[in-house]
Amino acid sequence: MRADAKRNRDRIVEVARLVFREQGYDAPLDEIAKRAEVGAGTLYRHFPTRDDLVDAVMQSWVDSVDTAVDKALAHEGDGRAVLMAWLETYVGLISLHRGGPAKITTAMGDPESPIRSKCQVLAGANQRVIERLTDDGVLRDGVEPLQLCRLVGGVATVADQSELDAPTVRSLLEVVADGLVRQP
């Protein structure tokens, strides 16, 4: 890739992150192009669809998912507390910008979505948590990573759209957590 191309690409992603933070993932792409001081053509050449751009912006946290899992698994307390820690971390990750949860959950159902790779990362993270907690006898059998993605994605989507506060989100996640743990 030519040097000027890379320069432009990087600047677009940088500006996009800013604009998405301000306005959510539905922000007009033309504004991003304008603020990045490139033509619309340049933006669309680098990122043919909005989701390609969203994907590039999301890339930053992908690398931190693994350490987030480690951190949640190291949470002190019983198995359910560990699970809750992870669920809250998960919601936080995908709720970084407004519209994020919806984007992720939609992508989960669309094999063509560029954001799909992010879903795989999240599913992988869930996989790790599930394995650990199943071994510990905390989770009931048969919990699938995708199932967890969907349940928590659903809660995060509602929370994002209704701008719920943290305690309210926690009360929803607690129902999910209780539904997942092995019934005593």
- Both tokens of 19, joined, read 């604009």
Residues 141-160 contacting its own copies, CB under 8 A: 147, 150-151, 153-159
Query: Can you tell me the distance from the alpha carbon of 90 to that of 170, in angstroms, rounded to the nearest whole number?
Result: 12
Question: HSE of 23 in the Cβ direction (CA atoms, 13 Å)?
Answer: 10
Contact region with its own copies (CB under 8 A), list: 12-20, 66-74, 103-111, 130-138: 103-111
- Both tokens of 136, joined, read 């510990």
Residues 16-45 contacting DNA, CB under 7 A: 28-30, 37-42, 44-45
- Residues in the interface with DNA (CB under 7 A) total 23
Cross-strand partners of 181: 139
Contact track, its own copies, 53-72, x by CB under 8 A: --------------------
| Identified binder of DNA from the candidate list 18, 21, 24, 50, rule CB under 7 A | 50
40, 19 contact by CB (below 8 A): no
Query: Can you tell me the distance from the alpha carbon of 108 to that of 151, in angstroms, rounded to the nearest whole number?
Result: 12
13, 53 contact by CB (below 8 A): yes
Sign of the CA dihedral running 178, 167, 125, 148: positive
- Residues in the interface with its own copies (CB under 8 A) total 31
4/63 with CB nearer DNA: 4
Q: Which residues bind DNA (CB under 7 A)?
A: 1-5, 7-9, 28-30, 37-42, 44-46, 48-50
Q: Which residues bind its own copies (CB under 8 A)?
A: 102, 105-106, 108-110, 147, 150-151, 153-159, 161-164, 171-172, 174-180, 183-184
